[in-house]
Amino acid sequence: MLDMKFIRENMELVAESMKNRGLKSTALDDFEELDEKRRDILYNVEQLRHRRNVASDKIGELKRAGEDVTPMINEMKDVSDRIKEYEEKLKEVEEELEKILLGIPNIPHESVPVGETEDDNTVVRKWGKPREFDFEFKPHWEIGEELDILDFERGAKVTGTRFTFLKGAGARLERGLINFMLDLHTKEHGYSEIFPPFMANSASMTGTGQLPKFAKDMFKIENNDYYLIPTAEVPVTNLYQEEILEAEQLPIYHTAYSACFRAEAGAHGRDSRGIIRQHQFNKVEMVKFVHPEESFNELEKITNDAEEVLQKLGLPYQVVTLCTGDLTFSSAKTYDLEVWLPAYDTYREISSCSNFEAFQARRAGIRYRPEPDAGTEYVHTLNGSGLAIGRTLAAILENYQNEDGSVTVPEVLRPYMGIDKIT
């Protein structure tokens, strides 16, 4: 959510940023009108309330002195009625305004390229060279099925499409990857580990920006105000919801493993084979709470932290800056890490690192006190996947496959796996 005052004072900028994202900015006209209306009503109602407060004090005083206050009370009845009328109008306007506000996306940072689709994303850097195969290589789902470590059919039988069983060395690889990533981030990158709930309520979902706009992308629990989390970002960012942090607590770095649940509405037919797009997948997430001046430095750092996972695993990747049209709703700037997948003959997203600036903090009420006696300010929040486990596993199967159908275990995972080859 953007600051109302900021929108009021920067109408053109907000309108332009929405245009760059490929959105209509008609909501802004409504905003302007409602905002003015709200402040007008507010002025009137506050005047009346002031009158009422003064009179109420007076009535109390007179009553204690034993005087007759009936005429005054009768007069104030009328004032109270008028206040009630104004309050109802105010509530209407504020609800309308809130709706508009929650629908306005974050403003892309000036360094974000203007563009419409993912084709307009710019490649920042590449690491590693895609492997040249001297044999017929296979996609990960074939490798996985032949090694009997991925079971798609039974996943579909037991639950449904886009659910998969990992078995034997596959299950161990999944678990090894989780542990490897958590160990790396906690021991070498200074993150403290969180194990969050896998469900969160609608206030939290609104805090990080999933609600109200993206309800259909999530799984909702029946008879409860709970949603299955689409990412650990939700519970971890909301850890400090409605809290005021002390300046010296910042920056806070958290890393968390969680299962992630996504309805994948509108993705019918896309990536239907393999484990690239599942309704449930595992992910190790990194979340940061930082001083506003530091957030863009921190974005570079969090991206590097995610990159190091790929480097240690020896997986070729590229870093792209998402253009304005591809940028997610809450983000001011996002780097995607894309890993090389031979069977797809392209780089595919495996991590997304974003700076949300104060956008989430404002929604979630996460503030800090810059100086001991100063007023509060919103922190900046960031997050990055470090990494999506399923896609990492797919990348390992494809990039480390051997001609005989076996898969070599990357060096750094051997302590976690206890074997150096999956056969």
Partner RNA sequence: GGAAGGAUGGGUGAGUCCGGCUGAAACCGCUCGACUCGAAAUCGAGUAGAUACCUAACCGUGUCUCGAGGGUUCGAAUCCCUCUCCUUCCGCCA
Binding track over 84-123 against RNA, x by CB under 7 A: -------x--------------------------------
- Do 341 and 397 meet the contact criterion of CB atoms below 8 Å apart? no
Does 245 sit near RNA (CB under 7 A)? Answer: no
Member of 66, 71, 160, 375 binding RNA (CB under 7 A): 375
- State the Cα–Cα distance between residues 220 and 228, nearest whole angstrom: 6
Member of 43, 122, 123, 265 binding RNA (CB under 7 A): 43
Which one is catalytic: 17, 204, 351, 352? 352
Binding track over 71-90 against RNA, x by CB under 7 A: --x--xx-xx----------
Angle 11-20/26-64 helices, nearest 10 degrees? Answer: 140
Which one is catalytic: 16, 145, 294, 349? 349
Member of 11, 23, 28, 42 binding RNA (CB under 7 A): 42
DSSP label of 344: G
**CA proximity to 401, closest of 373, 422, 371, 379:** 422
191 or 368: CB nearest RNA: 368
> How many helices and strands, by DSSP H and E, does the chain display?
13, 17
33 or 118: CB nearest RNA: 33
Member of 21, 140, 367, 380 binding RNA (CB under 7 A): 367
Q: Helix %, strand %, coil % for the chain, to 5?
A: 45, 20, 35
- Residue 391 among the catalytic residues: yes
61 or 118: CB nearest RNA: 61
- Residue 277 among the catalytic residues: yes
Q: How far is the CB of 66 from RNA (least distance, A)?
A: 12
- Residue 352 among the catalytic residues: yes
Write b or e for each residue in 277-309: b if 16 or more Cβ atoms lie within 10 A of its Cβ, otherwise e.
bbbbbbbbbbbbbbbbeebbebbebbbebbbbb
Write b or e for each residue in 222-246: b if 16 or more Cβ atoms lie within 10 A of its Cβ, otherwise e.
eeeebbbbbbbbbbbbbbbbeeebe
Judged by CB under 7 A, the stretch of 232-240, 332-340, 369-377, 401-409 that binds RNA is 369-377
- Residue 39 among the catalytic residues: no
Member of 39, 99, 157, 273 binding RNA (CB under 7 A): 39
Q: How many residues does the chain have?
A: 423
**CA proximity to 398, closest of 170, 152, 140:** 140
- State the Cα–Cα distance between residues 365 and 202, nearest whole angstrom: 15
Which residues lie below 8 Å from residue 198, measured CB to CB, with a gap of 6+? Answer: 228, 229, 235, 258, 259, 261
Does 266 sit near RNA (CB under 7 A)? Answer: no
Q: How far is the CB of 1 from RNA (least distance, A)?
A: 11
134 or 373: CB nearest RNA: 373
Task: Give Cα separations from 377 to 73, 372, 380 (angstroms).
Answer: 43, 12, 10
Footprint of RNA (CB under 7 A): 4-5, 39, 42-43, 45-47, 49-50, 52-57, 59-60, 63-64, 73, 76-77, 79-80, 91, 244, 367, 369, 372-373, 375-376
Q: Which residues are identified as catalytic?
A: 262, 277, 349, 352, 391
